[in-house]
Amino acid sequence: MPLLSVTDLQVDFTTRNGRTTAVNKVSFDVESGKITAIIGESGSGKSVACYSLLGLLPTPPASIEGGTALFEGRDLLQMSESELRRIRGRDVAMIFQDPMTSLNPYMTIGDQLVEPLVYHHKVSKSAARERALELLTEVGLRDPHATIDQYPHQFSGGMRQRVMIAMALINEPKLLIADEPTTALDVTIQAQILALIADLQRKRNIGVIFISHDLSVVADIADEIVVMQQGLVVERGDRAAIFDHAEHPYTRKLLDAIPAGSKAVTAEQREDLITVSNLCTWFGQGKGKEPLRAVDNVSFTIQRGEILGLVGESGSGKSTIGRSLLRLLPITSGEVLFDGVDVTQLQGVGLKQMRRRMQMIFQDPYASLNPRMSVYDTLAEPLLLHGIESRKTVEHGVLRLMDDVGLPRAFVRKYPHEFSGGQRQRIAIGRALATRPEFIVADEPVSALDVTIQAQILDLMLELGSEYGLTMLFVSHDLAVVRHIADRILVLYKGQVVEQGTGEVLFNNPRQEYTRQLLQSIPGRALIS
């Protein structure tokens, strides 16, 4: 008998627009010691299906309309809340996508690890603390005796995810549900977390449900794969069957969306639009205090019309470089020439006029878009601020931007929360294009998007870049994505450029060990070679 057997699960939601079936007659099994991956785009129902098993959906608006979920012979869907509470965190544990929103910011890491052990097993706090220290060591957290008394905000994203894994495993569950646990992590940290989950799963012989939109991640770890689309299971099979002999068009669409190949490099020599010389951006400078050298003596050029990729791990300084170029951060020293003008020396009106020519697309459009402003107001604001349109003509300018980024004009009065992640990123791109800039810094613009939506946004950026004649700095931790879109790539490590070249050169003949580590960390690399 499988550890978990889900049969004909149906979950509906009641909304103001009527009743919607989010999960439609879904069936799958999970074996002890095996990883079952559930993949699909946002809205496919993969997370809803798994959350419903543990009673984690709000009811209403959600309601379970049918099906069974036998866990060790007992139907989870028929259990009372008190019965589920005894199982959650003890027999079935969960790793959520964003540890920063899952961890309590007011509690130390140690207190949060101790709490479920004390609750479920009634052990003493001192014994629970010792167990927490052992587990923090097991999940690869450095110096756990020091870090156990720190708070979540003092950890990096990868460290917080390790803490979430430790918290999920502390009661030695039989089933682990991992919901997009590596989506926003750097490629090297992602590889470490995936290897950690697989290693712990083997050592403890636990069953794992791994929810993801990223087929390249699934390629490395899954034993069985379930493909979901619009609430339905459209295909299932082992790893080889899905990747080598996919039958359903949607599965093939997901496979085709994996970034592959490198962007063709334009042969002709172009003039330099941006020249960066000996750029230093340091933080925490003070008397007798060693500064954090986030960007340390970096030099490079970007040619007019070129897309330059900038890759590296979290903390490598890549986002700091992008923000420094736009003067969104104070520069310690160095020179940034934009079309012959040193932007480090600009102030006031001169800086405002220059910023019209230089724009930024941020990683999280939901955080960068004003939730109180409609799409119309969001796009109209820069058009009016820089005098590009008048009050009489601004509507025409807004609708043109909607057309450019592929959004229906009818959506112009909606607010950010009414859009999907991919649609919000299109709005952010439209806002960046509103001033008709010559240069854009795109800071991880697709890292949190589904792979098919990611492909659409990348294609849109390439198309608009060509149409508008844009020059772009494309910041990412994902070498496969950068290879797809960039003319050249800079590899950043601890605030310094360690290697540069075209995608083909870096992928096929990397000179630096760090670059080779980044390449080896790409999930499912065989799929994109």
Reported as a single tens digit per residue, the pLDDT across 211-241 is 988 777 777 788 999 999 989 999 999 888 8
Look at residue 448 in the predicted model and tell me its pLDDT: 65
Residue 108, in any domain of the structure: no
Residues contacting residue 228 through CB under 8 Å, at least 6 positions apart: 26, 38, 39, 40, 44, 45, 46, 49, 234
Q: With 60 as the cut, is the pLDDT of residue 374 above it?
A: yes
- Selected residue with higher pLDDT from 287 and 459: 459
Q: State the average pLDDT for the chain.
A: 84
Average of pLDDT values for 501-525? Answer: 76
pLDDT score at 186: 62
Instruction: Report the number of distinct structural domains present in the chain.
Output: 1
476-489, pLDDT tens digit by residue? 877 778 887 888 88
Is residue 53 assigned to a domain? no
- State mean pLDDT over 89-93: 84
Contacts of 459 by beta carbon, 8 Å cutoff, 6+ apart: none
* Identity of the residue numbered 314: S
Instruction: Tell whether 222 is covered by a domain.
Output: no
Average pLDDT over residues 298-313: 89
3-state secondary structure of 95: strand
Task: Return the pLDDT at 260.
Answer: 56
Cβ atoms of residues 234 and 44 within 8 Å:
no
Residue, of 138 and 345, whose pLDDT is higher: 345
With cut-offs at 50, 70 and 90, classify the pLDDT of residue 270.
Answer: low
| 3-state secondary structure string across 119-168 | HHHCCCHHHHHHHHHHHHHHCCCCCHHHHCCCCHHHCCHHHHHHHHHHHH
Alpha-carbon gap, residue 442 to 459, rounded angstroms: 14
Residue 424 domain-assigned? yes
Cβ burial of 370 (10 Å; 0-12, 13-18, 19+) is exposed
The residues pairing with 228 across neighbouring beta strands, listed in sequence order, are: 233
pLDDT at position 287, please? 66
522 versus 478: which is more confidently predicted?
A: 478
Q: Is residue 104 part of a domain?
A: no
Q: What is the pLDDT of residue 269?
A: 53
SS (H, E, C) 15-63: ECCEEEEEEEEEEEEECCCCEEEEECCCCCCHHHHHHHHCCCCCCCCEE
Write down the pLDDT at residue 75. 93
CA-only gyration radius of the chain, Å: 25
The DSSP call for residue 409 is G
Q: How many residues does the chain have?
A: 529
Please state the rounded mean pLDDT for residues 461-484: 83
* % residues pLDDT > 70 (the chain): 93
Reply yes or no on whether the pLDDT at 94 is more than 90: no
494 pLDDT above the threshold of 70: yes
pLDDT at 377: 93
pLDDT at 299: 92
Please say if the pLDDT value at position 267 is more than 50: no
pTM: 0.60
Per residue in 159-187, pLDDT (tens digit) is 787 888 888 877 778 899 988 877 656 66
Please, is 191 exposed, middle or buried when counting C-beta atoms within 10 Å of its C-beta (0-12, 13-18, 19+)?
buried
Q: Range of 378's domain?
A: 272-528
Would you place residue 468 in the very low, low, confident or very high pLDDT band (cuts 50, 70, 90)?
A: confident
Encoded tokens for 229 = 């689309």
At 6, is the pLDDT very low, low, confident or very high (cuts 50, 70, 90)? very high
| Cis ω for the linkage preceding 259 (within 30 of 0) | no
Q: Whose CA is closest to 273, among 210, 214, 318, 339?
A: 339
Tell me the DSSP string of 338-387. ETTEEGGG--HHHHHHHHTTEEEE-S-HHHHS-TTS-HHHHHHHHHHHTT
Q: What is the tens place of the pLDDT at every residue in 24-66?
A: 999 999 998 899 999 988 778 898 999 999 888 888 888 899 9
- Comparison of pLDDT for 368 and 411, the residue scoring more: 411
Is 262:507 a contact under the CB 8 Å cutoff? yes
pLDDT of residue 492 exceeding 80: yes
**Among 87-96, 110-119, 259-268, 351-360, where is mean pLDDT lowest?**
259-268
**307: buried, middle or exposed (CB in 10 Å: 19+, 13-18, 0-12)?**
buried
Domain CATH for 417: 3.40.50.300
Mean pLDDT for 112-137 is 83
Interior CA angle at 459 toward 453 and 461, to 5°?
105
Do residues 62 and 13 lie in contact, with contact meaning Cβ atoms separated by under 8 Å?
A: yes
**pLDDT, average across residues 298-312:** 90
Of 107, 108, 115, 64, which Cα lies nearest the Cα of 89? 115
> How open is the CA angle 30-34-38, to the nearest 5 degrees?
55
**Does residue 385 lie within any of the structural domains?**
yes
Maximum Cα interatomic distance, the chain, rounded to a whole number of Å: 72
pLDDT tens, position by position, 398-452: 998 898 888 889 889 999 888 877 788 888 888 888 888 899 998 888 876 777 7
Nearest to 243 by CA among 228, 226, 255: 255
In which residue are the tokens 């402003």 written? 373
Whether residue 453 is contained in a domain is answered as yes
| More confident: 171 or 342 | 342
